[in-house]
């Protein structure tokens, strides 16, 4: 699905030509073919969009909450009418298997908009505390910078709560996966989002992203991406003291407790690690297993990996597609080689493409055993289908190793309920999942340490886009 407006930007309620002429190709990572071109914005394009958002803010933020909720409902309705377009676009631009694109990628956008609407209706927007009235109101003009790995998940998690809070915004989707972002701008237009409230400029981080981050008329930056890029965003935003909400990298631990069902726990961990071709910041990429069960865990993990079907994303039988780009492929290959060089046991997979594959950025589902916590594959975010299995002697040791990381986005614990709960409390991560629960889109999502700050999803996301005002001396409501 190639959007008609891929060479334009959406600014002030209209599709407009870029002020510059730079373009880049959009690659299908499964075939290495260029399937479209996208325009890259300049600082001037970013300025134009930001000023449109600034001009629209006062009137939009004054609209009643019920009207803002109704607007997001219309966005959801149009999104649902083009659901298959989104699935096809994400399968094409990032290589997501079509069933995954429908059931996870496109679904994520849908469910986050739904959850945000529900949270908005349940949220207490103002209340009295003594003689003071506490009010939540939109923070202002927001710069929204989103990644390629979960395009609709991250766009919906930012745009929906910003609209609900009464903010105006400029979205910069990833230039690697711009098809779905452009489709989202099209549905905002069709849903009747007022002029200037939602704007979109394609472009790269060092130009458009940097300008959005430092612009004096931007009140908040919401960024999802690498920790390295997040550091640059925070530095650019600092001189104007804007709010910066960031969801960054991760190296999530998955502790298999001695009392866990080993087969179910290990197989579930492999599935979680390899989902989305390992390109998820909260993927459980470090599996900790009792030393006495290590060899059995490797055997179970190898069996689970063997069941992964790597292939054409258009084939409904495919469960793993390619990595998103040559750059990502090269990075993953280098880290697999590093794991071998540093002495980890290669259980399955390894360097190169899967057997019989000679084009596309397909990696082999790879599992390492006998990993120690000082190895590169246990320290660095690989962002590919690579699982490191680390043996431990005591649960205290497992917790200590799990927390011994600069990241803290997510963590996982498998085992008897009481023990899993106790271990979960000790892990330094923003979201800890116990025994592979269903995805909870009302739970706060965000990181400790270098995995970011702020929280997304439902009411937590709305709060991040709000200022808190105290009217002291207000009297009785």
Which of 247, 381, 419, 456 does the annotation list as catalytic? Answer: 247
Helix residue ranges, H only, 393-457: 395-403, 417-426
Q: Is 435 left (phi over 0), alpha (psi -120 to 50) or beta?
A: left
Q: Would you say 57 and 64 are in contact if contact means Cβ atoms under 8 Å apart? A: no
Residue 466: active-site member: no
Residue with tokens 């009411």, as numbered in its chain: 459
DSSP secondary-structure letter at 8? S
Sheet of 466-472, strand order: 126-129, 132-138, 466-472
Bridge partners, residue 6, by sequence: none
Rounded Cα gap, residues 372 and 382, in angstroms: 16
Residue 77: active-site member: no
Which of 157, 281, 348, 466 does the annotation list as catalytic? Answer: 281
Tokens in use for 302? Answer: 């190898």
Rounded Cα gap, residues 11 and 55, in angstroms: 12
Beta-carbon contacts of 54 under 8 Å, excluding residues fewer than 6 positions away, are 141, 168, 217
Rounded Cα gap, residues 215 and 41, in angstroms: 15
Q: Would you say 121 and 444 are in contact if contact means Cβ atoms under 8 Å apart? A: no
Rounded Cα gap, residues 429 and 447, in angstroms: 6
DSSP per-residue letters across 103-157: IIIIHHHHHHHHHHHHHHHH---EEEETTEEEEEEE-SEEEEE--SSSHHHHHHH
Tokens in use for 264? Answer: 């179910």
The CA distances from residue 219 to 59, 68, 143, 408, 465, in Å, are 16, 20, 8, 26, 10
Catalytic residues: 247, 281
């Amino acid at each position: 699905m190639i959007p008609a407006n891929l060479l334009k930007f959406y600014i002030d309620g209209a599709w407009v030509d870029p002020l510059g002429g730079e373009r880049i190709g959009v690659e299908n990572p499964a075939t290495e073919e260029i399937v479209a071109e996208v325009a890259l914005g300049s600082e001037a394009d970013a300025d134009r969009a930001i000023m449109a958002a600034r001009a629209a803010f006062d009137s939009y933020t004054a609209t009643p909450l019920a009207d803002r909720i109704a607007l997001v409902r219309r966005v959801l309705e149009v999104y649902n009418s083009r659901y298959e377009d989104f699935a096809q676009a994400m399968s094409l631009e990032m290589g997501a298997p079509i069933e995954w694109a429908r059931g996870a990628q496109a679904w994520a956008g849908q469910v986050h908009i739904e959850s945000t609407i529900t949270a908005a209706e349940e949220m207490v927007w103002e209340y009295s505390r003594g003689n003071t009235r506490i009010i939540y109101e939109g923070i202002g003009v927001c710069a929204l910078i989103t990644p390629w790995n979960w395009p609709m998940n991250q766009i919906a998690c930012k745009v929906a709560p910003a609209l609900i809070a009464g903010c105006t915004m400029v979205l910069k989707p990833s230039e690697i996966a711009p098809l779905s972002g452009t489709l989202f701008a099209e549905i905002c237009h069709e849903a009747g989002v007022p002029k200037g409230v939602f704007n979109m400029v394609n472009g790269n981080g060092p130009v458009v992203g940097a300008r959005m981050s430092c612009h004096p008329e931007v009140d908040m930056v919401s960024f999802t991406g690498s920790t390295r890029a997040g550091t640059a965003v925070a530095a650019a935003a600092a001189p104007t003291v804007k709010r910066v909400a960031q969801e960054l990298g991760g190296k999530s631990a998955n502790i298999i407790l001695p009392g866990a069902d080993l087969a179910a726990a290990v197989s579930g961990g492999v599935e979680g690690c390899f989902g989305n071709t390992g390109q998820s910041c909260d993927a459980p990429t470090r599996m900790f297993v009792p030393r006495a069960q290590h060899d059995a865990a490797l055997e179970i993990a190898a069996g689970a990996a063997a069941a992964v079907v790597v292939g054409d994303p258009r084939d409904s039988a495919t469960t793993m597609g390619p990595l998103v780009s040559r750059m990502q492929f090269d990075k993953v290959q280098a880290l697999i080689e590093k794991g071998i060089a540093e002495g980890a046991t290669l259980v399955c997979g390894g360097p190169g493409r899967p057997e019989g594959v000679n084009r596309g950025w397909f990696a082999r589902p790879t599992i390492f055993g006998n990993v120690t916590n000082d190895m590169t594959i246990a320290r660095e975010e690989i962002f590919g289908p690579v699982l490191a299995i680390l043996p431990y002697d005591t649960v205290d040791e497992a917790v200590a190793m799990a927390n011994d990381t600069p990241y803290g986005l997510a963590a996982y614990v498998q085992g008897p309920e009481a023990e899993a709960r106790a271990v979960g409390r000790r892990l330094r991560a923003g979201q800890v999942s116990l025994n592979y629960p269903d995805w909870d889109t009302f739970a706060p999502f965000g990181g400790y340490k270098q995995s970011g700050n702020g929280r997304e999803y439902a009411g937590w996301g709305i709060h991040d886009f709000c200022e808190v005002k105290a009217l002291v001396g207000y009297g009785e409501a």
